Amino acid sequence: MSITVEEIFETVNMTLRQNFDIRTVTLGINLKDCMDRDIDHFCGRIEHRIVTMGKKVNAAADAMEQKYGIPVINRRISVTPVSLLMEPLPHTIAAAVQVAKTLDRAATQAEMDFIGGFGAHIQKGMTGADENVMNALPQALSQTKRVCSFFNMGSTVAGLNMTAVERFGHILKDLAVRSKTGIGCAKVAVFANVPEDNPFMAGAHHGIGEGDYALNVGISGPGVVKSVVEQNPDCDLTELSEIIKRTVFKITRAGELIGREVAALLGVEFGIVDISLAATPAAGDSVAEIIEAMGVSRMGRPGTTAALALLIDAVKKGGAMASGHVGGLSGTFIPVSEDAGMICAVKEGALTLEKLEALTSVCSVGMDMFAIPGSTPADVISAIIADELAIGIANNKTTSVRVIPVPGKKAGQSVHFGGLLGTAPIMPVSKKAAAAFIARKGRMPAPIKALRN
């Protein structure tokens, strides 16, 4: 891939003035060959591999920052889904927690920000190991700091595992109580149609279709896109789409350049560049503010869904033109707590839980980082998850839920998580939903579009 001097200068300007950065470099590591019936032997093997490779990731990322002047904000590792690795081990909560603590300790020693993969693919059913990892989640995530978890509970091909969905409402309630301000729930995401090469937490894991290692990059450029939208207040929507596409083309090229060079330094395969626009609480780094710069008076009001659809389409087209290795989630994130514009919209009443769900029909990745009262019943949480995953299954797209029932908090209050997790206004939610429907459990069949073989 040839990069011109002009492109480098333009990218440096984006970094200095418009909050452009490489949000994450994530090294996926296969741990299947570490499997063992002795848990101490298993934990020793995975810890050694993670620490060794993690330190190399940090060194390579530092070298790229010095070479190009583009910040690499997060350095992360994703591993083979832990439930698969635990098949030969005792199916006890104590064993699963021991593995989680090993992952956490290894990530800490390697100075990784997060480590993902403590989860399972359970869209059609659960093995004993899958169920054990799920049941261990409240203890595992409340006793670790860097471990992130995912559970893929549905897919367009398999349908929706409602037995797991019903159980998960109770698990999130338990996890919230065990962790300060419920922050443990910020480290677990429930998916439909999860990609196996996602570099973004909490859903990152090293899929079983991957090689031994893969270096994936997640870029971020809401500030850059917002800037070009503001500079073109009078153009029509066709022209605006073209402008956004060209901008995303440029930042995708920069992301792939960094990713390929980090992979080369590590001696591993380059995987994908995820072109998702990922907001932060920093001023000017908001997806909601892009929508408002397009002409919507406030995120969540009428016109928001159409504007978001235009934005995500332009992002995907620009990235696809720039690289043949676009993957992961690659869209537009709308996490409530991590986006200053989203927070304002919720506080003003422009953005409700129902509108947030509607927006996920066109965005990536779903209902993300939103807080609800800690008193919300478990069956209501499960119903929220079921609704969101059903959108992904019906539309053959990735959707997810990262919901935080904050203990002791009521609607209208706020909770501060700090760092990239930001501040979340507590959103009102019904105390009654679909208890009898959720209690039926079982598996919702796949839509007819799944039978396309």
Short-list 278, 255, 292, 253, CA closest to 363: 278
Report, as an integer, the average pLDDT of 331-353.
Answer: 90
How much is the pLDDT for 298? 96
Q: What is the Cα–Cα distance from 310 to 331, expressed in whole angstroms?
A: 11
Average pLDDT over residues 206-212: 93
- Give 23 or 32, the one with higher predicted confidence: 32
- pLDDT value for 73: 84
Segment 247-263 shows an average pLDDT of 89
Label residue 318 exposed, middle or buried (CB < 10 Å: 0-12, 13-18, 19+).
buried
Q: Which pLDDT value is given to residue 15?
A: 54
pLDDT tens per residue, range 343-370: 999 999 999 999 999 999 988 788 999 9
Q: What are phi and psi of 179, to 5 degrees?
A: -120, 145
The per-residue b/e assignment along 427-438, b for 16 or more CB within 10 angstroms, e otherwise, is: bbbeeebbeeeb
- Listing DSSP states for 321-369 in one string gives HH-S-B-SS-SB--BSTT-HHHHHHHHHTSS-HHHHHHHTTTSSSEEEE
What's phi and psi for 146, nearest 5 deg? -115, -5
Q: Quick one: fold of 21-453?
A: Anaerobic Ribonucleotide-triphosphate Reductase Large Chain (3.20.70)
Between 220 and 138, the higher pLDDT residue:
138
**Between residues 199 and 168, the one the model is more confident about:** 168
Q: For residues 262 and 53, give the distance between their C-alpha atoms in angstroms, rounded to a whole number.
A: 12
Residue 43's alpha-carbon distances to 108, 119, 190, 382, in angstroms, are 15, 17, 26, 33
Distance CA 138, CA 25 (A): 28
- Looking at residue 224, its pLDDT comes to 86
pLDDT at 34 over 60: yes
The stretch 300-316 carries a mean pLDDT of: 94
pLDDT, residue 329, reads 84
CA distance 295 to 372: 29
**Three-class SS of 397-420:** CCEEEEEEEECCCCCCCEEECCHH
- pLDDT tens-digit series, residues 370-406: 999 999 999 999 999 999 999 999 999 999 999 999 9
**Site of tokens 């054990």:** 132
CA 199 – CA 219 distance, rounded (Å): 10
The pLDDT, as a whole number, for residue 276 is 85
Contact of 292 with 233, CB cutoff 8 Å: no
Give pLDDT, residue 16.
47
For residue 78, list its beta bridge partners.
28, 116
CA 251 to CA 193: how far, in whole Å? Answer: 26
- The span from the CA of 78 to the CA of 55, in Å, is 14
Mean pLDDT lowest among 39-48, 75-84, 272-281: 272-281
Q: What is the mean pLDDT of the chain?
A: 91
Between 424 and 47, the more confident residue is 47
Share of the chain above pLDDT 90, in %: 72
Structure tokens at 170: 């109770």
The residue among 69 and 40 whose pLDDT is bigger is 40
Distance between CA atoms of residues 121 and 124, nearest Å: 8
Question: Which is higher by pLDDT, 186 or 423?
Answer: 186
